[in-house]
Amino acid sequence: MATGKKALVVGASRGIGLGLANQLAAQGWEVTATTRSTAPVATSGIRWLTVDINHATQREALKHSLAEEQLDLIFINAGVFGPDHQDIQQSDDAELAALFMTNAISPVRCAAELLPQLAADRGVLALMTSQLASLNENPSATYPLYSASKAALNMLSRRLSALLSPFQTLLCIHPGWVQTDMGGSNASLTVEQSVGGIIGQIDVWQGKGGHHYVEYSGQQLRW
């Protein structure tokens, strides 16, 4: 049954992003989702757009295609793990710049450019981050390059909260350890479990305003 709610999921070609787009569509949301190449097969009720948010012209095209929309949810899911070695001494400048561009700079730029499409009275703007991004939650600096890029995402997104109405909510969401290409087969959560929790948090925070760093389960994390 249609809910009348509209969502945009940026970075939905596979894993959590695809699972989120599918579950929202199954729950009756009108879903627009993006992929950098070919749309996934075996999806229904989803409008697919091809966008690489690292390119300003493609972000502008996405904004233009949504100019008449008012979205209840904008979810920016794009992200990469970076080099397997996770060692700054082994990484060249271009590799590090690409990691931070994809995980922090481009997602926040995309979010800022899409803010006019966020419903003023109830919209949720969510960015996929990680518990590893927190100095408090990750004191041993596990996966330091990936974690640093997500910490940058958290900080850059903080400025977005000043641009929101009192009833628009900004969420930095940790999805848990999930069985995806990045999380691996030994992860504790299936995509469906993680996504179910994420959608629950979107429902919980809708209309409450503010900027919150939360886990899929509802636990609030320390910055």
Q: What is the pLDDT of residues 1-30, one digit of tens each?
A: 678 999 999 999 999 999 999 999 999 999
- Structure pTM? 0.95
Mean pLDDT on 161-175: 96
| Residue 10 phi, psi dihedral angles, 5° rounding | -95, 120
pLDDT (0 to 100) of residue 1:
64
Give the pLDDT confidence of 45-62 residue by residue, as tens digits.
899 999 999 999 999 999
pLDDT at 37: 86
Angle at 83 between CA 77 and CA 87, to 5 degrees: 120
Q: Across residues 136-153, what is the average pLDDT? A: 97
- Residues 160-182: what's their mean pLDDT? 94
* One-letter amino acid for residue 80 of the chain: V
Q: What is the pLDDT of residue 11?
A: 96
Give the mean pLDDT of 153-170: 96
